Structure 1
Amino acid sequence: MAHYPNPFAAIRASWLLGRARLRSENLSQSTLAEDVGLGQAALSKYENGSREPSFADLQRIIARTDHRLVVRLRREARVGNRLLESMSVPDLAPYRVSDTHLHRRLPAQLAPADGRLERSEPDGPRLEEALLHLYEIQDFLHDARQPEARFQETYERWHVERDRDLIHLVLPVGAGAAQAAGILARAIDNRTARPTGSRAVKSKQTEQAEPRASRLTWAHIVCCLRAEEAICRERAARLHRALDAARARVRARNLADDAELLARTGHGRPGALADLDQAKAALEQAGRHAAGHSRNGGAQDVGLSGERYLAVELTQLADRAHALYEELAQEPTFTAWREVHAATDPLYDAWLDGELRTALAPPLLFPDAKALHRLHHRLPEPAAGPAPYGPARRTAYDHLGRPWQIVITAEDDAASRALVLAVQDQVQSEPGQSGPVYVLAEKADTDRARAVVDAAPRATSLLGITAALRNA
């Protein structure tokens, strides 16, 4: 019998009935009971779990709501490879995130380097009920993997280099959903009892235990889905930029052709040759810009390999990921996690569904300046103390009233590009150390960043100045 997730985990009929009715518009228990020809007392017993409806009755009752019960058989071998099962080693670091695009969009608490989350309250949804969410995430993941499979097959058949570009572009798509599905399946597998004996039926004691997902596990799953949405939108944005470059190249080609025709038939019109040279230079520049969107030499095919269709497909996937995120984020345990985590990382909380929600990634938060320097090694060596990168250009305040010093520093030898940092002011337990550091903007135009920071009010908010830098 299949072992992952636990085959004995099952969605309860009572939970399905209650969910379907409560999520239907203006549908009371008495109205539904009358529609299906039941007494309200009988329907109440179905919903509170004191009686179990037959499978046929369950379908008929749900069919009278704004939902339908969809059932399908998925083949899984009853007897697996026992040798492989006996040799399997438990995953000791299940929360380690290897995909860089996903890791970039998760807070450090939910993506620990050792792959293990801290213990937290088991106040998430019942794992049996979470099965429905698992099926929804798996359906999404199946669709999210289709673009890569399609372009792999296309490239193997015709060997067009632009198709190989698009394979690389869509590789991160599905990373967040895959992580969320794996973690949720593992939680269900580990915490749902496997009855033994000739009659594999769950005992009343097991049902009463109602194992639930832990708070940090559920937060990890929900934030992976939010990251999935951002990954899909970022990939779609890349395609839009490539399509803009392709259109600019076509316009430049048309202008160059017109200029060449005028130069040949212009009968000595003054400036015709100069116009031709200018048009050719513009075409060459447009070609280089289009080539910048191709990593495998398929620059001439940019815009001609189904990018428009793929951009629409990725946007639809992003919308579906957002809907999944909103659904799972309604759990009270996630709200409780956000309230605590927002005190540590307020800008991530704003990125989830606040003022920074349109950004393609949240601002990076480092525990101190040394941690920042390990990643941005071209930065000047941070000085000891609360001002590691020199005097602040402005002071901003987070939602708890804590001050953050806004600093603009050169990212490397090119003074035209800079990092915009926010260093938290705090009482130091150890002298010579800085507080947490946000990277508000990377590779920012130095003059524009200075203008945005200087234009901010004296008592500006950290969120407001971050949003202004993102919009600049």
Structure 2
Amino acid sequence: MHLGEGERAVSVQDPMTAVPAAWLLQRARSEADTQTALARFLGVAQPSVHRYLTGEREPTFADLQRLIASMGCRLELLVRTEHQAAFPFQEDRLTACQPYRVKEPALARLLPICLQREHGGFPADIPDGPTPGEALGWLYELRVLTRQAAAPRRRLETLSDRRPHPHDEQLLRRLKPVGSGARQAVTALACAIDRAAQRTSREERRPRRSRREIPDRLGRRTWAHAVVCVRADATICADLVRTLSDEDRYLAAELDELAQHSAVLYRQAAATTAFTAWRSDLDDPRCLDWLDGGLQG
């Protein structure tokens, strides 16, 4: 087996997991290759070869090589490294220690300064947001949104692998901010839920007489941070749709659907008491206008 430049050998326990041996054998086999002759060549019983050919049983890699060789063919194996983009939830875990730090520039430009922090939570935060159980429901909805947001980029990456084109590469760069708001909201909510569970667990381990009363709801600004991030996702997608050409109309349709989905989630979350209270204290006319839909990104 030859390994080209930039390729590396890897140890694989089951090399036929991706491509069934039966498929390879059927492609190499001719009418003259009888099961009895193949069994004799391998030194196994004919029923064993039958099970190999029908996929009922997988041969060892050594037996597969010998079978392919007996049919006058050669089995070549190419091992190469491939870039694997981090799944959004993996990125969430990586940034969980700084749940309110906004790294995506397009998202940071939209969020008000009062909702951006480098470390920890928001000081003196009023605990009138959703309960951890309610937040879990929102977290599920947001994770559905993150998967939807990742779909256009994955489709373009697949096309670029098959047929690299400068236009597709440019679109991939422009799609980078798409879904960043949902991922940011997932990170913030997941961390807040985990911290609430940890506080509850610590108090339950204390003697009953010395237990302290702890808030059973998430903080107001933590909730506002997540909600505004979803609003930002809708803006990012809508702005991108307006700048796409006619040849990208299918991508525009995907992004428009994503923008509408984000907007629906935002309107539902913005109707909660905690967000309404936070919004009433916000002294930023431009941000208020944007939250109402009057401004673009």
Q: Tell me, what secondary structure is at the counterpart of 2:218?
A: coil
Q: Which of 105, 108, 111 is the equivalent residue of 1:106?
A: 111
Query: Which has more helix, going by share of residues?
Result: 2
2:284 counterpart of 1:348: no
1:26 is matched with which residue? Answer: none
Alpha-carbon distance, 1:315 to partner: 0.6
Structure 2: distance between partners of 1:89 and 1:172: 16
CA distance in 2, matches of 1:164, 1:335: 41
TM-score (norm 1): 0.39
Which AA in structure 2 matches 1:360? Q
1:359 alignment partner in structure 2: 295
Q: Distance in 1 between the 2:223 and 2:281 partners?
A: 14
Distance 1:235 1:327 in 2: 24
State the match for 1:315 in structure 2. 256
- Cα distance change on mapping 1:235 and 1:216 into 2, 3 Å: same
Tell me the amino acid that sits aligned with residue 151 of structure 1.
Answer: L
Task: Give the distance between the partners of 1:119 and 1:101, measured in 2 at CA.
Answer: 28
Q: CA deviation at 1:129?
A: 1.4
Deviations 1:133-164 (A, max 9, x none): 10000001101011111111110111122111
1: CA distance, partners of 2:95 / 2:189: 19
- How far is 1:94 from its partner? 2.4
Give the structure 2 partner of residue 215 of structure 1.
Answer: 220
Query: Of 166, 189, 192, which residue of structure 1 is paired with 2:171?
Result: 166
SS where residue 145 of structure 1 aligns? helix
> Which whole-Å CA distance do the structure 2 matches of 1:161 and 1:95 have between them?
35
Aligned twin of 1:299: none
Compared with structure 1, are the counterparts of its residues 346 and 119 closer, same or farther at alpha carbon in structure 2 (3 Å cutoff)?
Answer: same
d(CA) in 2 for partners of 1:360 and 1:96?
23
Q: CA shift at 1:360, angstroms?
A: 1.8
User: Does the CA-based 8 Å contact 2:96-2:187 persist in structure 1?
Assistant: no
Deviation for aligned residue 1:89 = 10
Q: Distance in 2 between matches of 1:336 and 1:195?
A: 29
Amino acid at match of 1:147: P
Q: Output the CA distance in 1 between the equivalents of 2:134 and 2:169.
A: 41
Match of 1:466 in 2: none
**Where does 1:14-413 land on structure 2 (aligned, <5 Å)?**
91=97, 93-112=98-117, 116-193=121-198, 211-239=216-244, 242-243=245-246, 303=247, 307-341=248-282, 344-353=283-292, 357-361=293-297
Whole-Å separation in 1 of the counterparts to 2:257 and 2:96: 36
Question: Contact (CA 8 Å) 2:99, 2:120: kept in 1 or not?
Answer: yes
Question: Residue 185 of structure 2 contacts residue 225 of structure 2 at CA under 8 Å; is this kept in 1?
Answer: yes
CA 1:115/1:155 → structure 2, altered by over 3 Å: closer, same or farther? Answer: farther
* 1:209 CA drift (Å): 5.5
How far the C-alpha of 1:115 sits from its partner, in A, is 6.6
Equivalent pair of 1:141/1:178 in contact (CA under 8 Å)? yes
Higher share of residues assigned strand: 1
* 2:152 and 2:251 in contact (8 A); partners too: yes
Deviations 1:242-263 (A, max 9, x none): 33xxxxxxxxxxxxxxxxxxxx
Partner AA of 1:359 in structure 2:
L
Shift of 1:111: 1.3
Instruction: Please name the residue that 1:6 is paired with.
Output: none
Gaps of 5+ in 2: 1-92, 203-207
Cα distance in structure 2, aligned partners of 1:350 and 1:320: 20
8 A Cα contact 1:192 1:211, kept in partner: no
User: Equivalents in 2 of 1:99, 1:145: separation in Å?
Assistant: 15
Q: CA deviation at 1:195?
A: 5.3
Q: Is this contact kept in 1: 2:234–2:258, CA < 8 A?
A: yes
What does 1:423-434 align with in structure 2 at a 5 Å threshold?
Answer: none
Taking the aligned partners of 2:157 and 2:114, their CA distance within structure 1 comes to 36
Whether the 8 Å CA contact 1:126–1:210 is kept in 2: the answer is: no
**Partner SS for 1:94:** coil
TM-score (norm 2): 0.61
The C-alpha deviation readout for 1:237-283, integer Å capped at 9, x for no partner, is 111xx33xxxxxxxxxxxxxxxxxxxxxxxxxxxxxxxxxxxxxxxx
SS across alignment from 2:271: coil
> Closer, same or farther in 2 for the Cα pair 1:312/1:358, shift >3 Å?
farther
**Paired letter, 2:285:** P
Q: Could you say what secondary structure the match of 1:104 adopts?
A: helix
Aligned partners of 2:96 and 2:137: how far apart in 1? Answer: 25
Kindly state the Cα deviation for residue 116 of structure 1 after the two structures are TM-superposed: 5.0
> What amino acid is the match of 1:101?
A
Residues paired across the two proteins, number? 198
Gap change, CA 1:311 and 1:115, over 3 Å in 2: farther
Match of 2:295, as an amino acid?
Answer: A
| AA of the residue aligned to 1:329 | A
Relative to structure 1, the CA distance from residue 115 to residue 231 in structure 2 (aligned partners, 3 Å threshold; closer, same or farther) is farther
* Contact kept? 1:97, 1:115, Cα under 8 Å: no
